[in-house]
Structure 1
Amino acid sequence: MNKRYCDNYRGWLHKAMGMLCIIALSLAVVGCNADEEDSIKENPYLGGREPLTVKLLSETPDPETAGPGTEVTFKASGLAKYFHKDENKFDFDFYISDELCEIATATDSTLTIVVPENVSSGTTYLVLENQIFYGPYFNVSGSVSVDQGFEYYKTGPSFGSIFACVPWAGNTQQTTEFYLCGDFKQSKNSAYSGLLMINNEKGLINFGTANKFALKYGIYGRIRVEDGNTISSYLAKLSGMDYWKADKESPKALLYGWFNDYERWSSLTLDGFNFRNVLLVNNNMTVITEKKKLPNPDGNLKEISVPVFNGGTDMLNEIIRAFSTTDGKIIAVTNSRWHVHIDYENTTCSTDGKAIIPAEVYTKIKSVMRMDQKGALDLEYRRSSVSPEEEALPGADGEIKDACMTNDESIIIVGDLTAFDGKAVNNIVKLDKDGVVDDAFSANVGAGADGEITKITYTSYLDENGISQERIVLVGGFTAFNGKSVPGLAVLNVDGTFDSGFELKNMEGGRPNFAKIVDLTPNSYVHKPHLVISGTFNKYAGITRQGFLILDMKGNAIQEFNVPGRFYGELYDAQYSLTSDYANGLLLTGDFTSFDGKRMNNIVMLKVDVKNVEKEETEEQP
């Protein structure tokens, strides 16, 4: 047998063996399939638990809204299997806004429950055998509700937040109008931004209103900031407004935030002129101007109109807060290191006078500065005694987040701070009217906050006995203040001591992000100050309160005031207002998308019926 024959034989043998293996494997698979067919002739799920046929229908309950203790009937289906009529026992539980409800009666198609004594509006659901069946949103009736007549909440300003809501200086007991400050646009199709005016009836007030709102453009939407070789773009904003205290007959307004153009001065009126994060304007919000004679390239003097106010800060940092004083000064709080103003004596203009080449003067500052009503830096306030023209006092070690001014024109500053003017602080410090650290306040706050303080609000109000009171409210990422455990919120007297009458209850699920005291009846003989809070929490004192609270000045969440449902977002301001039908109201502004089951656009008016809660609050007194 030759070699070629042997090789052919071995190849044939290998192919034959491969075919036999394939055939054997195929027979094995067929056999397995046959066994498998025999094995599933019976239903493997036979005898298992039947699926639940219960449904909680989305139909409107009867009554549609109700208060605690009221019986409400919901539409359902398939309930008959899961209750024992003779024993009045039920295999399921029913909840409103996560609060367990007493079940009064049930049929196969209806379920009657009793609204709990403490509950907020929210989603209803039934729980059976660890399964959840959702029903309709239920509105718990009380003394607080969304003012449907104030329809501006449905649209609101476009593309941005509302950082401040400032009552118009001309408001009376019969009128309430407000300026809104923020980084918003008026609407999607408008370039106007930053400042709006609204009233309690219609919402948005038309531009060009005499003595109130004569603007055309507002602030320019974006600012360009050069830092060395880096050019960055930021969204311009107005953070707030303070009325000019030195002239109450025809009050001017102090605007502040992060902006370098206003009413298109830099682009349309006077090229080359930039505002610097703060501006004093007329009482109709227009720029205050004066005539200046500036040299043009031909050597001739050209008379042009320029803004009277031209001071501020460099554009790397915003002005966080600015306050006017009774003696005609401006105090600004900022993380900026430079005061900037234009020296008109050395400024030139173009041939046609439509542009200037500003001679800008930079002076070092730190944390807090004082200016006059033209924006010039006050070299007698918080300056070095050796070289006041060149050096400021040390100011803050850390980042300033917020500030407020009290009745005596002291400034309280908060943030992520470890020292101020070389003195150790724990995220809060107070400066007296002359800008000097208040050591007595520092002693009273003691250990201060164990985390950063992000917001501070100050309120001067009359209590229920007509006695004048002052309080500051702190909010932030702290868990203790001066050794006392608190969930990121503290209510203090202006001397830094705790308000002994206020006791915050246990807060679960998150933290506050805003808190402010508002008098809900400022036009009444009996005043009703309350603390308005927003946040990420979902329970207060063991009761579901999802993101929004109205507390009395003892820290109680009176049921009648806390019926609104879930709040999504963050408040930046809360103001007393008349409602659309001229009753007591509360205007809320900020950055929020949902409130009490309704879509929101950063603003909402609440109706507040204080009379309904007077009896309940009296019963809460110890």
Structure 2
Amino acid sequence: MNKRYCDNNREQLRKAIGILCMVALSLAVASCNADEEDSIKENPYSGGREPLTVKLLSETPDPETAGPGAEVTFKAAGLAKYSHKAENKFDFEFYISDEQCEIAAATDSTLTIIIPENVSSGTTYLVLENQIFYGPYFNVSGSVSVDQGFEFYKTGPSHGSIFACVPWSGNTQQTTEFYLCGDFEQSKNSSYAGLLMVNNEKGLINFGTANKFALKYGIYWRIYVDDGNTISSYSAKLSGMDSWKADKESPKALLYGWFNDYERWSSVTLDGFSFRNVLLVNNDMTVMTEKRKFPDPDGNMKEINIPVFNGGTDMLNGIIRAFSTTDGKIIAVTNSRWHVHIDYENTTCSTDGKAIIPAEIYTAIKSVMRMDEYGTLDLGYRRSIVTPEEALPGANGEIKDACMTNDESIIIVGDLTAFDGKTANNIVKLDKNGVVDDAFSANVGAGADGEITKITYTSYTDEEGIPQERIVIVGGFTTFNGKSVPGLAVLNVDGTFDIEFELKKMEGGRPNFAKIVDLTPYSDIHKPHLVISGTFNKYAGITRQGFLILDMKGNAIQEFNVPGRFYGELYDAQYSLTSDYANGLLLTGDFTSFDGKRMNNIVMLKVDVKNVVNTYE
């Protein structure tokens, strides 16, 4: 059959089908119109409920801030219709930070409420006929507020978190300065930092401050790890710092984390040299150096300036915590399996003396190691008695955190099932010699039924003038030694519960940080409190959105818990003087909002302990 003939037939068929479809559509529309004329005689939407004309205006209330029991008047509109003055009844409800307030009076344009006895700052809103009308953010007055004079909270460091806030070794009652350690950058245009210094007045102390903070660069923000198969890139970080305890006359600082360059030594100063996650530096944070001679390819000896500290771990894992001891040792806790140092006796250098060809020595370690002030591994610490060249088994599982107590014992937490072959339910204690403390293990018993992610240690004086030591653990556990706890427990250093402290019910989420801080360390009467952050939104049935300050019995005293919603996670909390030299609390971590204000991982709080009503039991 002719192809053109077939194409013509198909075209005619398509046209016929199209005409039939148009006819069918016209008949359907006509039928619908006829049905509509018969069935719809009036507007189907008439007689519906009129929209509410009520408004809660965003104008500033009177007074602008107030505490429990005070009357506050908000600007509103359209309330008269829903207010019954004769019966003192109202068809609506009013809330501050999700806490219902008593309504004292209402007119068509104003609404007067009474601040509840327990409430935090937050958004206000009115509920009428299941509709919500939002008003202004209201600051409940109390004894804790953001220190506006500490301006660094408006910018913070660039691009990263603050993992530790460490008091400067020269601090006194009248001086307050801190080092900030993290994975942040010095500025938006820099690839260096990880370490900054702030004071209590305005914040940032510039790099290069002589005798105190003489850095120019800090750590390089990236590290490159070769696992034998691929080279991977990671964010470098300083996890923390510890002041050198052995020599008070010549202060030093112990830095640790996950980094292989510091002050551009590895990238610029001396090619071939790398730091390995830990470093002992001068008190002004500069590298301690010495001159050594190395042979070049022709056998000529070249004098090169090199760092004094030479040791650390392999780069597959960083150092979680490192501690200085009173006898001049360094205890490092890590998930790494190797101590690494350069054998200078067998190291050579380039012809121009600007690079070394290091001879590195790897020695097996397990979880915890001890070094001297030069980074040399202590082969008498945590080694097998039968086979000294072998390290003790260490952790079965992943270590998350650790702390050191006053007697220089180490408490290690994480996702652990055993340590040195002994059962460890996510927590274990080593004595000063690195041996598992069996008495502590017996006291913690069943331990945590989930991983412990953080541990903080505080040595303080209580309100009766008695020295105390406590550890606080947080994590993904629901019980500790058989006791139901919402991911937080306060323990004595022997592993037993602090029986005076009783955590109340938490709702909406879990804690992610907790630390005891003395809010009046220089006073005759000490006020230790537990500072907590998390994802919870209620504590003891009261709205407390992500932040708490509890007394040492677990009470959230109203005057200390007025700040509004907190978004994020704290990593540290330190007592500090405020910008006007009053009592304060410096908070650092990874958070974006606090009490209705935009934050950049750091904030100073004013804490007026004198104004707190004596409600301690």
When the two structures are superposed, what TM-score results if normalisation uses the length of structure 2? 0.96
Q: Which moved more, 1:95-104 or 1:290-299?
A: 290-299
Aligned to 1:240: 240
Q: Are residues 337 and 24 of structure 1, via their aligned partners in 2, closer, same or farther at CA, if it must alter by over 3 Å?
A: closer
Q: Are residues 384 and 95 of structure 1, via their aligned partners in 2, closer, same or farther at CA, if it must alter by over 3 Å?
A: same
1: CA distance, partners of 2:350 / 2:232 = 28
Aligned to 1:401: 400
1:616 match: secondary structure:
coil
2:340 match: secondary structure:
strand
Amino acid aligned to 1:588? L
Deviation at 1:210, TM superposition (A): 2.0
Deviation at 1:53, TM superposition (A): 1.0
Q: Are residues 348 and 95 of structure 1, via their aligned partners in 2, closer, same or farther at CA, if it must alter by over 3 Å?
A: same
2: CA distance, partners of 1:267 / 1:488 = 43
Deviation at 1:18, TM superposition (A): 11
Q: Are residues 346 and 584 of structure 1, via their aligned partners in 2, closer, same or farther at CA, if it must alter by over 3 Å?
A: same
Amino acid aligned to 1:555? G
1:481 partnered with 2:468: no
Aligned to 2:530: 531
2: CA distance, partners of 1:440 / 1:123 = 50
1:64 partnered with 2:64: yes
Aligned to 1:101: 101
Aligned to 2:614: 616
1: CA distance, partners of 2:375 / 2:364 = 15
2: CA distance, partners of 1:146 / 1:475 = 26
Deviation at 1:27, TM superposition (A): 4.5
Aligned to 1:250: 250
Deviations 1:1-46 (A, max 9, x none): xxxxxxxxxxx9xx99998997686345324214325644511122
Q: Which moved more, 1:135-144 or 1:185-194?
A: 185-194
Aligned to 2:572: 573
Q: Are residues 194 and 24 of structure 1, via their aligned partners in 2, closer, same or farther at CA, if it must alter by over 3 Å?
A: closer
Aligned to 2:586: 587
Judge conservation of contact 1:200–1:579 (CA < 8 Å) in 2: yes
2: CA distance, partners of 1:207 / 1:296 = 36
| Structural mapping, 1:433-582, within 5 Å | 433-582=432-581
2:562 match: secondary structure:
coil
| Structural mapping, 1:43-442, within 5 Å | 43-388=43-388, 390-442=389-441
Judge conservation of contact 1:558–1:616 (CA < 8 Å) in 2: no
Q: Are residues 431 and 32 of structure 1, via their aligned partners in 2, closer, same or farther at CA, if it must alter by over 3 Å?
A: same
Q: Which moved more, 1:565-574 or 1:16-25?
A: 16-25
Deviations 1:217-265 (A, max 9, x none): 1001100000011111000000000011001122110000000000000
Deviation at 1:414, TM superposition (A): 0.2
Amino acid aligned to 2:62? D
Amino acid aligned to 2:566? F
Q: Are residues 424 and 84 of structure 1, via their aligned partners in 2, closer, same or farther at CA, if it must alter by over 3 Å?
A: same
Aligned to 2:6: none
Amino acid aligned to 2:106? A
1: CA distance, partners of 2:196 / 2:355 = 29
2: CA distance, partners of 1:19 / 1:305 = 94
Deviation at 1:56, TM superposition (A): 0.7
Q: Are residues 609 and 20 of structure 1, via their aligned partners in 2, closer, same or farther at CA, if it must alter by over 3 Å?
A: closer
Q: Are residues 577 and 24 of structure 1, via their aligned partners in 2, closer, same or farther at CA, if it must alter by over 3 Å?
A: closer
Kindly tell me the number of residue pairs found equivalent between the two proteins.
604
2: CA distance, partners of 1:50 / 1:107 = 21
1:276 match: secondary structure:
coil
Deviation at 1:563, TM superposition (A): 0.1
Deviation at 1:340, TM superposition (A): 0.1
2: CA distance, partners of 1:362 / 1:605 = 44
Amino acid aligned to 1:290? E
Q: Which moved more, 1:372-381 or 1:31-40?
A: 31-40
2: CA distance, partners of 1:262 / 1:487 = 40
CA RMSD of aligned residues (A): 1.6
1: CA distance, partners of 2:378 / 2:446 = 33
Deviation at 1:54, TM superposition (A): 0.8
Amino acid aligned to 1:353? G
2: CA distance, partners of 1:195 / 1:595 = 24
Q: Are residues 171 and 46 of structure 1, via their aligned partners in 2, closer, same or farther at CA, if it must alter by over 3 Å?
A: same
1: CA distance, partners of 2:291 / 2:20 = 108
1:440 match: secondary structure:
helix
Q: Are residues 17 and 303 of structure 1, via their aligned partners in 2, closer, same or farther at CA, if it must alter by over 3 Å?
A: closer
2:471 match: secondary structure:
strand
Deviations 1:100-125 (A, max 9, x none): 00000000111000000000000000
1:249 match: secondary structure:
coil
Deviations 1:262-286 (A, max 9, x none): 0000111100000000000011100
* Structure 1 ranges of 4+ moved more than 6 A: 15-22
2: CA distance, partners of 1:58 / 1:39 = 48
Aligned to 2:3: none
Judge conservation of contact 1:215–1:285 (CA < 8 Å) in 2: yes
2:339 match: secondary structure:
strand
Deviations 1:276-318 (A, max 9, x none): 0000001110011111111011101111111111100000001
Aligned to 1:9: none
Structure 2: state its 5+ residue gaps.
Answer: 1-11
1: CA distance, partners of 2:452 / 2:330 = 24
1:183 match: secondary structure:
strand
Judge conservation of contact 1:569–1:594 (CA < 8 Å) in 2: yes
1:345 match: secondary structure:
helix
Amino acid aligned to 2:435? V
Judge conservation of contact 1:454–1:475 (CA < 8 Å) in 2: yes
Amino acid aligned to 2:525? V
Give aligned-pair identity as a percent: 89
Q: Are residues 71 and 360 of structure 1, via their aligned partners in 2, closer, same or farther at CA, if it must alter by over 3 Å?
A: same
1:617 match: secondary structure:
coil
2:614 match: secondary structure:
helix
Structure 1: state its 5+ residue gaps.
Answer: 1-11
2:134 match: secondary structure:
strand
2: CA distance, partners of 1:322 / 1:31 = 85
Q: Are residues 33 and 456 of structure 1, via their aligned partners in 2, closer, same or farther at CA, if it must alter by over 3 Å?
A: same
2:217 match: secondary structure:
coil
1: CA distance, partners of 2:24 / 2:531 = 81
2: CA distance, partners of 1:193 / 1:25 = 72
Deviation at 1:209, TM superposition (A): 1.6
Amino acid aligned to 2:140? V
Deviation at 1:616, TM superposition (A): 3.1
1: CA distance, partners of 2:508 / 2:260 = 41
2:328 match: secondary structure:
coil
Aligned to 1:4: none
2: CA distance, partners of 1:83 / 1:34 = 50
Deviations 1:71-105 (A, max 9, x none): 00111111111121211111110000000000000
2: CA distance, partners of 1:22 / 1:256 = 79
2: CA distance, partners of 1:544 / 1:101 = 13
